[in-house]
Structure 1
Amino acid sequence: MSPDIALTSFLLALSGLFSIVNPVGSALIFAQVTAERSAAERAELARRIGFYAALVMLAALWAGAPILNFFGVSLAALRIAGGLVVAASAWTLLSAPEAREARRQAEAGPEPGRGIGPGSGDGRSEGLAEVAFFPLTLPFTTGPGTIAVAIALGANRPAEGPDRIGFYIGASLAAVAIAGMVRLAYGSADRVVTLIGPVRARVLGRLSAFLLLCVGTQITVNGVADVLGPLIAAAHRG
């Protein structure tokens, strides 16, 4: 296993997932929608959301691409489509970040019969566990965009061999690191609101979105190279 592959995969996955999850910006909304909860309950929610977020990202990273391959989607097509989806998501973040923030706040808000304030559920632990997974993990923290990014990253894996092992180790560590950031940011949401504020969070979000656009473009380029490479080589041999 090459340490360089693991490090490169870690940095690529970390930048891509951080950009789409945006733990700092999400913490600002988390602070608003859980304002009526006690400090102990919010800390418990942060711990559970971090754990669930890690499971969602790891499942998409490890199983997403193989499942699509099972249905006959080639690796090159998966890379191209995944890269385009990631790039489109990044462009939306760059062009209309306020709209995305409003949508995520609506996703995290209470639904009829399913509140996130005190007293949700039949008991404290059961209520926290239910709310922590839905809606605060899915779709608020790790929604369809995050899953698409994780699948696209998984599609960018090397061929069978030691390099693939290094890729999965690096990418999985990045997913766990992002989940850890989510837990820390949500657990310190009040301090994040005071320290960062909504304006700085938007600036950070735009910078992250541009980085995500670059990640999506790179994944697409890799997929196009997979398609055109054999054709160009065949043309040269002819």
Structure 2
Amino acid sequence: MTDLSLALEYIPLAIISIIAISNPISTATMFNVLTEKMSEERKHQTAVKASRFSLYILVFFALTGMLIFQIFGFGIGAFRIAGGILLTITAIDMLHPKPEGLTDNDGTRDISLIPMAIPFISGPGTIVTTVVLMSGAQDLGGGDTLVWLLASAGVLLGIVITIAVSYLGMTESERVFRFLGEGGEKALSKLMGLIVLAIAIQFIINGIGDVLPDLVRKGMEAL
């Protein structure tokens, strides 16, 4: 099998991998729950902004790799812990909503960047997957520029398709969940709050697991 054939096979692998780890279904579900008090216009604006932020984030990490982590001196573990803390705040808001008088003028806050773009559409797992896939594209290309460009284009295409699917899921989420009714939506909101809290805790546990070996190693060296 030629290197060009391997690059062509790499494209669907990259697309499927990014979509799977991003999980547009959970994104659509969370969007529906968090935007139930928004006007249709603001829902659309939020979906557009979340998609745009996610595109910027994933393309940035695809092109720079882990450079941003190296510049600021932190690893993916710290990023996972930060994402977990942000999700915890979101989960608490979902489980214990603020009274109407304490929220924005339409009963909501801007969720386009946090938590929709980060960590749902372009969370730590999706970022790492993107970086790994771009690294794999470089390894696959070796010294062949055409193969590297083709495989890298597949990763970027996977990012675009994932965000497009997430956008459609967000904009059509209300239709999908309309059959639940008002009582069903409230129950779903509480259930998703618990699920988000569990995801947040898992993010923090995974982050601690990432940084703990390095902390232990540094502690041993200091002795």
TM-score by length of 2: 0.58
Displacement after TM superposition at 1:103 (Å): 9.3
Displacement after TM superposition at 1:51 (Å): 1.4
Q: Does the aligned pair in 1 maintain the 2:22–2:120 contact within 8 Å?
A: no
Q: 5+ unaligned residues in a row in structure 2: which ranges? A: 78-83, 189-223
Percent of counterpart pairs with the same letter?
19
Equivalent residue number for residue 94 of structure 1: none
Rate the CA distance shift 1:59–1:32 in 2: closer, same or farther, 3 A: same
Q: Does the aligned pair in 2 maintain the 1:14–1:174 contact within 8 Å?
A: yes
Equivalent residue number for residue 129 of structure 2: 149
Rate the CA distance shift 1:6–1:186 in 2: closer, same or farther, 3 A: farther
Matched, 1:36 2:20: no
CA deviation profile, 1:152-202 (whole Å, cap 9, x unmatched): 11121122411111111111111111111111111111123358x99xxxx
Q: For 1:19 and 1:136, how far apart are their aligned partners in 2?
A: 16
Q: For 2:16 and 2:89, how far apart are their aligned partners in 1?
A: 24
Q: 5+ unaligned residues in a row in structure 1: which ranges? A: 72-81, 86-101, 199-238
Displacement after TM superposition at 1:108 (Å): 4.5
Displacement after TM superposition at 1:105 (Å): 6.6
Aligned-pair RMSD on alpha carbons? 4.0
Equivalenced residues, count: 159
Q: Does the aligned pair in 2 maintain the 1:49–1:133 contact within 8 Å?
A: yes
Q: Which has the higher contact order (CA 8 A, sep 6+)?
A: 1
Q: For 1:107 and 1:137, how far apart are their aligned partners in 2?
A: 15
**Correspondent of 2:119 among 118, 134, 139:** 139
**One-letter amino acid of the structure 1 residue matched with residue 155 of structure 2:** A
Q: For 1:22 and 1:13, how far apart are their aligned partners in 2?
A: 14
Displacement after TM superposition at 1:25 (Å): 2.1
**One-letter amino acid of the structure 2 residue matched with residue 135 of structure 1:** P
TM-score by length of 1: 0.55
Q: For 1:108 and 1:176, how far apart are their aligned partners in 2?
A: 26
Q: Does the aligned pair in 2 maintain the 1:24–1:192 contact within 8 Å?
A: no
Q: For 1:104 and 1:64, how far apart are their aligned partners in 2?
A: 23
Equivalent residue number for residue 234 of structure 1: none
